[in-house]
Each structure stands twice: as C-alpha cells, then as structure tokens.
Chains A and B, each alone.
Chain A
C-alpha cells in the first residue's frame, strides 16, 4: 500500500505498545501535566518514553506475534453503529421490520387462525393460534402496544346545554367559526350582523347555510355565528362545517345525510409554504442560460 492508511498507523502503534513490555520511566523528569488519561495521550507518553538518548542498552527483542483474535475485536479503531441500518433513512423502523421478518420466518410453521378470527392487523404473527404463541413473539408484539387501556378513554359526546343550545366549531383555510344553534324560525346572525350584510353574495350565503338547506331544516333553527380570520370563502365554509356539527348535536340521525352532502368532511388543506429557491410554493424562477 503506497499511502499510509490509518489502519497501518494503528498497527504500528500497537506493535510499539506490545514491544515495551516493561514500561520504563524517563530519567529526565517529565514536566508534562497528566491530568486526564486519554488513550491517545497515554500512547504519546509511551512514545516520549522511548527517546533514543534515554534508552539504556537493552538486548533487542523481536515483537511478539499480533493476536488478531482478541485486541482488535475488543477495541475497534472507530465507533461503529450498533444497528446495521444506521445509515438508512429510518433505522429504527428498518430494525423493527427486520426483527419482525426474522421472527415471522422463524415461526412460520406454527398453526394459524383462520382469516376471519384473527385480530384486524396485517401481521402474520398476530394470526398464530393464541395458545401456541411463543413468549418471544408476545413480548415483541406487546412492545408495539400503547401503554394503558385503550378502551378506558371515552370521548365526550357534545350535548345541548340547559338552554337547548348546541355549540360547535368549524375551521377552513385561515378562518374559524363558532356557531350557537337553537330551535327557531330560521334567523341567522353572523358577527352580530344580518347574513346579507356579512355575505353579500348569494353564493356565499348558500354555502354557509348548506347543512341546513340540504336537510331542509332552514326554517327550524336559529343560528348565531361568530367567524374570524381568513377571506370570504374560508369564512363561509368554516360556518358550513360548524353549522353541520351543531346540527348533529340536535339531530344525530342526520349524520349520514350530512355526510353525503359533504358538509362534515373537514377540508384540512392550508396554504402550502414557500420554499427557498422557489418563487412561490412550487414555482421556479425562469431558466436563464448562464
């Protein structure tokens, strides 16, 4: 090898260390302050100890044979990652996959439940008959479960308050709407104003009240709406969502109808961020030669 590699250097150092079986102190007292004992420093110390002037006349000894089986494995020259998939994009995930795949391969022969009885999970390990599941598999599978009882948390269903009023929120784009819905005559106030003043366009008014319209409940409820932020479209569709949710509090049976009308599906889209190097979110500057 023409170029001295780091491995070559390490070998040389090792041989030096092995050759000096009896470490001898330098006659000249060293003024070096050895506060910390790093491996490299210790080595430099041994280096300094073999100064040509200070070496007494000793019989030259051949270096003993290098035992590759012990020291090289014990003290690796560089830090090696524990996981072989360390340099992949998602090492933990890959490790899990490999682990599960190896488990699956090992226990493929175990009898399995029929397709209908197995828990609804894609893993084949889950389908092993319960009495036959090895302890190793059980611990691995349990490590993926969230701690605690998943059925302990019960979601509060929204209810009407003591005045018979349903309150619900809706969001769309940058707008947030809060609706108070009571049984009434079909009067709607948006931010304290009439809906005509709040949304001058017929189109916007229609879309704001779409939940009531499709269910033919327009003249059966009064709505008190507060909507903030965003533009006109965002505000109207935030109101749509909020009214639909409030209506479901009054009449839960309307849910399939509202689902079909598309008013309880949340549109979670937001404005895409601008990226560096782009003019807008996606637009690139015009290509110019040179």
Chain B
C-alpha cells in the first residue's frame, strides 16, 4: 500500500529537540470535541480517591469552626446592593416620576434613586439571589410590561391624558422561572414611592402560613378565624418605615376604639401604636386600613382631612396562601390559610368585583416558581383565567375545569371565580422573555459595568437570546456573568 506521506518532504523536516517540546503528559489529549465554552472553573470537581494516608482515622479538633447558625442565616439572607469593583456606568438614568412612561427607554437599565433604597429595603423588595451585588448600583431594566405598568400608575394617580383617578387594577403575575416576577413587583414599588402612593407589601407569603409566628383565635368567629399579631406588627413597621413621609402628612379622620388615638394624631402615630403592643396590632391595622380607604371624614373631624393617596399592595409567593397552613386548631387539625384573618384580608381584596380600595390603587399578587407548594386548584384557577382572557366563556365546553376526583380545593376555585358585570376584575399577567432589543440593552449594561468582555453585536445577542429560552431575564443574567474559556476560538462562518 502506498504511503500517504511524501518521504522527500518528511526528510527535510527536522525533529524538534525534546527540550523545546512540552512533555507529552502536559498536552491534554482531547478525546471528544468540547461543545461548550464553559471555563474550567465550572467543571464538576473530580472525585477524590479515598486514601488511607490522607484520611484521618480519628476526629481531631478542627481549627476551622463552622459559624453559628444565626451568623450563617444572616450571611445567607444579607442583601448587598453595591459592588465597588464594578465599573460605574456612564450616563445611566435614574427612575423618576416622569420617565416611567417613556417607551424610548425600553431596554435601558434605570438606576434606583439612593433615597428610595431605604424605602425599598424597608418593604423587603430586594431578595438575596437577584444579583444586585454584581453591579455598582442597583437598577432594573425597562421592558414592555414596565412601561405598561408605568402608564397604569400615571392613570390611577390622575395624571396624563387618559386619567382614571380612583381606578383599581388587580393583577396576578405569573411567568416561568427567572422571568422577573419579583423584580416586576420591585419596579411597581419604586413607581409607587415615586408617585407618593402608600405601599403595603408582603414579601414572603410563606412566612404567614409556615407556623413561625404567633396566632390567636378570634372569639366567637365561626368557623374559627385566627389573628397573627407578630406578623401584623411587622407589617405595620414595614409600612411605616417605607411610607413615613406620606403617613405623617395624613391625620386621623375616623373614631377608633383604640387607646392612645387622639383627633390630632397622624396615621404614622396611629400605626406606631401597633409596634409596641402586639395585642393591639390587628385592631391598629384595621384602623389604619379604614383610614387609608376612606373618601370622606367622619362628621366633626373634617378639619384636617386630606384625600388619601392610592395604594399599592404587592404579595410575592401567592401559592402558599392556597392550601392548609402549618398551624393547628384545638382539635389538632390543620388550619386552612384562608382562615387566617391576615391572609383572608389580603385575598378578599383580590376577589372579582371587590372594590375596597376606594381611592384607587393596584394589587399585584405574584406567584413564585422557585418556592411554590404546587397547588392544583390554583393551577386550574389560573388556567381558567387565561381562558377567560382569551375570550372563552365559562359555559363553553373548552373552558378548563378541575378534573373529576382530583379533590381540588373549592375555596381556592371560589376565590378566583368570575363575577360578571362588577368591576374591578382580576387580570392575569404572564411575564415572558425580553425582546431582542431589550436583551441587547440589558447585555450592554453588563458590558459597560465591566462584567462582560465581548463585543455585544447583533449576532451575539441573537445567540444569547436563543440560549436563554427567548430572553428569560434570569437566564440572560447567568449568561452575562458567565466566565468563558478563552481557549476555544469560534470558527468564522464563510
């Protein structure tokens, strides 16, 4: 067989001296083509072979002690909003009352004003793993849903062209994992603060049903309802801390059966009564709620009455309120979440046709995908809502309903049932991915912060957009901060 080598050519080649070549063991042999650009640091750690020489036979005193549980929790829960190593982005705009409706800003990242950060921290708008700590300052990208929400805020506040002062908008926010539901709530809160609304939030719906806070039965209620004084007190503290400016400007306008309330006291003073005495927390919260939702003062107290601002109620992790809580009644049976007065109060606001917010406002109840108990009845209810929005009548055979013998919770289905003709109606808002342009703006922000060292161009953005399942923002963040191996060159297309 003829050899493939040309011997005359080979004879001219001089063998490289051994010293110049690296030792054969140093050159990694590629057994298969690497179809990725992951850096070595992301490789799974090699399993160490157990070696009797390296393993200690007996437990010895370890110098590196594990930190205390409390410290560990604090480390886990801490929120870092700034990274001094990240570059400052030149010309970065701040969110303001004017630019929340500006559609030209779509795709740009708007910074949160520094004075507002304390308010947002007070309502626990930031969550630990949202990647705030990789940028110089906190900011959120403006997407289509954000601009639409900004328009709603303007409308309800009674500004702009199509002002509808006093309108109530109720939304259940859903979306796939990493689609930005919680950050959407944060943007809503920041807009609420900008528009001088009263912002009431429940950052973790789970904390109210997980059996961690105290609960007291309400005398004479049937079926027995339960008050959670500790959680109510915490809610009052959050609300006062965040809305101090608004609440301190409003005077009490009704008569309340609470000791310490004077006709001259402000709503801040009223709410503060619930801080010290948890037993008073629930009556104080009821009083505060009445004060915030009234449209006129009680007779004889009209002197200092000012119209109340709209309200924003934001709840995160709605599914936890749709099943049995971890609390037990006297018969040691599980208490349904809807029997907790606190939960019931906020869920009743959501009901179709319920218009308790007389001064207008917005209700945003977001589901969670990373921390969700999986309630079948809620899934059915959301499917039904989707079908109603698509125009399917509840009487039509295509209208989804719970499967037979599935034991779907009737209380949940009842909460979401349609009520014809009464406003305001509940809406379902499903967050999807960013568009390509928004993706580009978002990734450019990474590049300008010094995190991303690649040219952000059309092709590259399209690639990342596909890779993130169509612009899912949580996935884009992963890709933006992904350290890539420099060894693999991308072959250029011809």
Contact = CB atoms under 8 A, between A and B. Distances in A.
Q: Which 8 A-B pairs have the closest CB atoms?
A: A262-B33, A219-B462, A196-B469, A207-B35, A210-B35, A186-B466, A194-B469, A218-B463
A214 B490 contact: yes
Interface of A is mostly: helix
Interface of A: 115, 122, 186-188, 194-197, 202-203, 205-207, 209-210, 212-219, 236-237, 240, 254, 257, 260-263, 265, 267
A213 B33 contact: no
B5 interface: no
A261 B468 CA distance: 22
B493 A219 contact: no
Given A214-B491, A257-B493, A194 B470 contact: yes
Contacts of B470: 187, 194
Contact of B463 (A187, A203, A219): A219
A259 B462 CA distance: 23
Interface of B: 1-2, 32-33, 35-38, 42, 176-178, 458-459, 462-463, 465-470, 472, 475, 478-479, 482, 490-494
A218 B466 contact: yes
A254 B37 CA distance: 21
Contacts of B35: 206-207, 210, 236-237, 240, 262-263
B259 to A, nearest CB: 55
A209 B35 CA distance: 9
A87 to B, nearest CB: 30
Contacts of A115: 2
Contacts of B462: 186, 218-219
Contacts of A261: 33, 491
Contact of B468 (A196, A219, A237): A196
Contact of A219 (B32, B177, B465): B465
13 contacts: A115-B2, A195-B467, A196-B176, A196-B468, A197-B176, A203-B36, A210-B35, A214-B490, A215-B493, A217-B493, A219-B465, A236-B35, A254-B493
B469 to A, nearest CB: 3
A202 B178 CA distance: 14
Nearest to B494: A257
Contacts of B482: 202
Given A188-B466, A196-B178, A216 B459 contact: yes
| Residue of A115, A202, A212 with most partner-chain B CB within 10 A | A202
A150 to B, nearest CB: 21
Contacts of B459: 216, 218-219
A104 to B, nearest CB: 15
B16 to A, nearest CB: 25
Contacts of B32: 262, 267
Contacts of B36: 203, 206-207, 210
B176 to A, nearest CB: 7
A216 B493 contact: yes
A217 B462 CA distance: 9
B479 to A, nearest CB: 7
Contacts of A218: 459, 462-463, 466-467
B467 A206 contact: yes
Given A206-B36, A236-B35, 17 more contacts: A186-B463, A186-B465, A187-B470, A188-B466, A202-B467, A203-B36, A206-B467, A218-B466, A218-B467, A219-B458, A219-B459, A219-B462, A219-B465, A240-B35, A261-B33, A261-B491, A262-B35
A262 B490 CA distance: 13
Nearest to B478: A202
A209 B33 contact: no
A223 B123 CA distance: 43
Contacts of B42: 203
B491 A206 contact: no
Given A187-B466, A219-B459, A260 B1 contact: no
Contacts of A254: 493
A269 B395 CA distance: 56
A206 B485 CA distance: 13
Contacts of A216: 459, 463, 490, 492-493
A122 to B, nearest CB: 5
A207 B36 CA distance: 5
Contacts of B1: 122
A234 to B, nearest CB: 13
A213 B2 contact: no
B52 to A, nearest CB: 14
Nearest to B464: A218
Given A206-B35, A265-B33, A194 B463 contact: no
A194 B176 contact: yes
B420 to A, nearest CB: 34
A260 B38 contact: no
A86 to B, nearest CB: 30
A218 B469 CA distance: 12
A268 B177 CA distance: 36
Contacts of B468: 196
Nearest to A122: B1
Nearest to B432: A194
